[in-house]
Structure 1
């Protein structure tokens, strides 16, 4: 019997060694450790990440979900504005082109664009399907000059290229000639629809070597899940109070089984029922005869240090301060500085979004939905702009400096500069002549009376 068991163990170990050898042959550089090529496999890290892996991480990973939401929530705290000309022209009156563009770029449009930006962060790229009022099938080119009815946002896993332009002299060489969209109907069924590139706008990079937003932080997220799940399982097992019953060697199990009216083989079930009753009730009694009952409790290690190491690695990969990522408010000064840094990071990312918005405008111009203009600019508000109280405090400080400079005969700040610092227009609007005449007539009539 022992010989057969030894043979089975040896056979299992041989199979494990062969499987490990095959894995190393297929993945000679599995990880960054040059000495241990299978390090990532032992750590539980995947070598290649698919959209399903990233989507699962976003859907079930609390830190990853919060990171994506914080980035998009801050970047899209307010909607952008597209103006004709340069940024310096934003103070002039609205042009006819801007008025027509606002009919397309509505609040609902920007909400859909923000959702596409979120999905791009999750899956390396996302798609915007353009519903054109031309009455054609999705797989046909667009008829120029028709209006835009609405847009639909698609995940990267639901919109994939199925045909590529391989013509060396083609203007669209290396780009998809046809996309396939897997549409999920309300009843849960799906259908696949071919979509012409004219009706698709892509946010992100769909090339095979693209790096997603969550991809560099995937390994520490896996470690975070192990720490969370392992510590939670340890607490659960200790709280379950599994019991160990140690009987004396003089006890006859046949007599004990006959006392319960069961066979010796069924005696274990009686013990299990007793343990369940003990764990279920607050005042349950466990009767033993010549036995010692002890709970199986193991010491639970503090998961904090290990968790924090992986959290900092994930925060560095995502370029989000840990206090912003998890909402820690341990230091007011540190939290304020982290918030300013994060706002500046999102403000910088708005510059990249501006290029995406301009590309979408160019596509709408090419489809005849928008008119072409010599220059257009995407403008955003400042995320690090001072609050109303801070602006008033700055204006008060400027006024105090003017008061302190009276002795020198100089006035460092003008009244217009102080109004601008307070958040108002440069100079107050003068009273209209009609209002002045009414005031004069009122004063004249009062004098006569």
Structure 2
């Protein structure tokens, strides 16, 4: 009775789901096929994606997890540097503002900021909670100039807007008036805390129409999961050796049941027990009377082509080359062009991160944690910079060009340019000059004593 009721409920839910899909032809989010408005529902694609969906995809999806880690890891391969002015000058000394800012922007801080950036890639945004030394509750405005103790990184699912500022004459109209942070204790308990906007910095976009990093590739990840799970299930079913027993029409089930010492109604259970023993690999005998036993085996299709199609779709949505995304497969590895493209993509994203870092500096300056400065810049190293071996190769080619031009009396590159290309700075000092100067200085010092 319970089984029939469950089947009826499942059937009713499926009918309701299909009816909703057919009625969803007016909704643009239900698919791009105008002829088949319920196509997305048939494919198993969700109409709306929330943070929990994206977080589950990152937590359990290998490709999605690797994409987020690779992109965030490459962008934060090295920490940036915040300087006063527009561009860095190697000859200029560290300013007082830079020295004070470095006390806040430590290596531990950049590690937390990188973690917030990684969580922003998973959700549509992430939050940084500022622990300010003002001994006030979280729901109160921060005291200017109190100093920053530490920062805490929050997922988008744990930090949501509780109340918006709807005052038409308010300076912060349309912005969050109060945030709600769900704090998780190690024991699994939750505590909801109201947080003032002064103590929150958001990375990403928390508006309703924001598009997350994983969202465009979500459908492809759903298809990848089907291919992985379906092919694995096919192999499992073949390995399980399900048995098919085909009895002849003249079989006497009563006689067969008496052979096992059970009733006819219990005969099926006996066959199931024997099948379990067969699958366990024990030495058992299956006694039949006028029956043929054959294993149920299905041919498993090669999941490779279907998997690769969806993998390429996901890679295109994430803007990461396929071989960079999955690493080395069947002896293949990412080409130099793929690596350079990915490095350029990360270098470009660093430009966007620079704006986030500058906004964070402005927030700290507004809280008087650091001093305000007229002009500042965020600089990164070059991910496509030449390696030491590549620099030496460039210097060698420059020297060979100079050697080829000896007959013409011209010199294409100076010795200093060749040294710079090899990774060194400036011209080498003449041999022995440094030693003579040191000897002279030592003699004069000794003479004074």
Same fold (TM over 0.5): yes
Q: Measure how far apart 1:249 and its partner are.
A: 2.4
Larger mean CA deviation between 82-91 and 11-20 belongs to 11-20
| CA offsets 1:311-340 (integer angstroms, 9 cap, x no match) | 111111000111111113668796211111
1:446 is matched with which residue?
Answer: none
Contact kept in structure 2, 1:329 and 1:335, CA below 8 Å: no
Contact kept in structure 1, 2:244 and 2:295, CA below 8 Å: yes
Contact kept in structure 2, 1:247 and 1:291, CA below 8 Å: yes
For 1:353 and 1:15, locate their aligned partners in 2 and report how far apart those are by CA, in whole Å: 46
Cα 1:430–1:121 shift into 2, 3 Å: farther
SS of the residue aligned with 2:128?
A: strand
The answer to whether structure 1 residue 130 and structure 2 residue 130 are counterparts is yes
| CA offsets 1:282-341 (integer angstroms, 9 cap, x no match) | 654433332211000111111111111111111110001111111136687962111110
Contact kept in structure 1, 2:220 and 2:310, CA below 8 Å: yes
For 1:398 and 1:330, locate their aligned partners in 2 and report how far apart those are by CA, in whole Å: 39
Contact kept in structure 1, 2:328 and 2:334, CA below 8 Å: no
1:178 is matched with which residue?
Answer: 178
**Long gaps (5+) in structure 1:** 444-449
1:447 is matched with which residue?
Answer: none
**Long gaps (5+) in structure 2:** 444-449
1:24 is matched with which residue?
Answer: 22
Contact kept in structure 2, 1:124 and 1:204, CA below 8 Å: yes
Tell me the TM-score normalized by structure 2: 0.91
Larger mean CA deviation between 188-197 and 286-295 belongs to 286-295
For 2:82 and 2:207, locate their aligned partners in 1 and report how far apart those are by CA, in whole Å: 29
Q: Measure how far apart 1:251 and its partner are.
A: 2.5
For 2:170 and 2:427, locate their aligned partners in 1 and report how far apart those are by CA, in whole Å: 57
| CA offsets 1:82-114 (integer angstroms, 9 cap, x no match) | 011121435421111111111111111001000
CA RMSD of aligned residues (A): 2.6
| CA offsets 1:124-145 (integer angstroms, 9 cap, x no match) | 0000000111111111111111
For 1:318 and 1:242, locate their aligned partners in 2 and report how far apart those are by CA, in whole Å: 42
| CA offsets 1:258-301 (integer angstroms, 9 cap, x no match) | 12221111221221121122221265443333221100011111
For 1:182 and 1:333, locate their aligned partners in 2 and report how far apart those are by CA, in whole Å: 43
For 1:303 and 1:42, locate their aligned partners in 2 and report how far apart those are by CA, in whole Å: 20
1:145 is matched with which residue?
Answer: 145
1:220 is matched with which residue?
Answer: 220
Q: Measure how far apart 1:24 and its partner are.
A: 3.4
1:103 is matched with which residue?
Answer: 103
The answer to whether structure 1 residue 349 and structure 2 residue 349 are counterparts is yes
SS of the residue aligned with 1:407?
A: coil
Contact kept in structure 1, 2:274 and 2:284, CA below 8 Å: no
Superposition map of 1:367-446 within 5 A = 367-428=367-428, 435-439=435-439
SS of the residue aligned with 2:271?
A: helix
The answer to whether structure 1 residue 121 and structure 2 residue 129 are counterparts is no
SS of the residue aligned with 2:310?
A: helix
Q: Measure how far apart 1:441 and its partner are.
A: 9.6
SS of the residue aligned with 2:126?
A: strand
1:363 is matched with which residue?
Answer: 363
1:85 is matched with which residue?
Answer: 85
Superposition map of 1:160-199 within 5 A = 160-199=160-199
Q: Measure how far apart 1:37 and its partner are.
A: 1.4
2:340 is matched with which residue?
Answer: 340
2:50 is matched with which residue?
Answer: 50
